[in-house]
Amino acid sequence: MLKRSKQKQLSPEKRFTIKILLCSAYLIVITILSVCSYRIFQEKQNIKSWNDVSNADEYAYIEVSKMSEKFAYYSTSKKSIHFVIEQEKTGAWHTYIIAIKDSDYSKFKDIIDYTYGRTKKNPKPIKVYGYPVVINDELKQMAIDNISNFLPAENEVVITNGNFNDYLTNSFLDTTIEREENFNILLFITLLMLLIMIILFFITIFDKDKVVDNIDELTNELKNKYFKSKEN
């Protein structure tokens, strides 16, 4: 009965060299995957400014510098609709519409009081987050009827149905909608590959050289097949 030949023993120097090469390759791949995972995660977590929103699925923010009292109210969902002003560092300001939970009114009270001259203390702007919701005709008309009570006196623009979208956009920021955490398949695959590489890295170090022996054996087999094919 034929016995299988024993696997050729590698010299300590060759074994160490193969292990170093393998670990170096793993570390390079781990570094690349780590950077890719971080960038994908950052992109996933990125919250856009209201000005940069292009569809209803994008989570966005507005930095509220001034805010009106509510001019509309949804009793079923208990949310109130307000005009807000976001002021840029350049001094330019933009008027938008937001919806807040009725119970959150106290968070904005200082800004609202300052807006109407009830206090002289200028509070810090508050950044609010939410999703775009298209303004229906009823809400649009209510906004047109009430905007003149909020805009600064020096503003001479008259908001109508014709120019409404130009000045107030066709949507409002609904801050009552919780952010959805959507599954990102690309991030999942990248993290899975990263985990596999880390496991292989530690196996190569702590498995008593089994991986090194297998790599050397595989390399020799490939070499033998290559040279045989050249001879034929």
Whether the Cβ atoms of residue 33 and residue 25 lie closer than 8 Å to each other: no
pTM: 0.62
- Which residue has better confidence, 132 or 200? 132
Q: Amino acid letter at 153?
A: A
Q: Is 84 exposed, middle or buried (0-12, 13-18, 19+ CB in 10 A)?
A: buried
Find the mean pLDDT for residues 76-105.
88
Is the pLDDT confidence value at 162 over 90?
no
Is the pLDDT confidence value at 219 over 60?
yes
Angstrom distance (rounded) from CA 159 to CA 178: 31
Whether the Cβ atoms of residue 61 and residue 47 lie closer than 8 Å to each other: yes
Is the pLDDT confidence value at 212 over 60?
no
Q: Amino acid letter at 172?
A: F
pLDDT digits (tens, 9 = 90+) for 42-56: 666 678 888 878 777
Q: What is the pLDDT of residue 10?
A: 57
Residue 120: DSSP 8-state: S
Q: 131-169 as b/e, with b when 16 or more CB fall inside 10 Å? A: bbbebeeebbebbeebbeebbeeeeeeebeeeebeebbb
Tokens standing for residue 125: 């702007």
| Residues paired with 74 in a beta bridge | 79
Q: What is the pLDDT of residue 179?
A: 81
Reported as a pLDDT band with limits 50, 70 and 90, residue 8 is low
DSSP string, 131-188: EEEEPPHHHHHHHHHHGGGTS-TT--PPP-TTTHHHHH-SEEEETTSPPP----HHHH
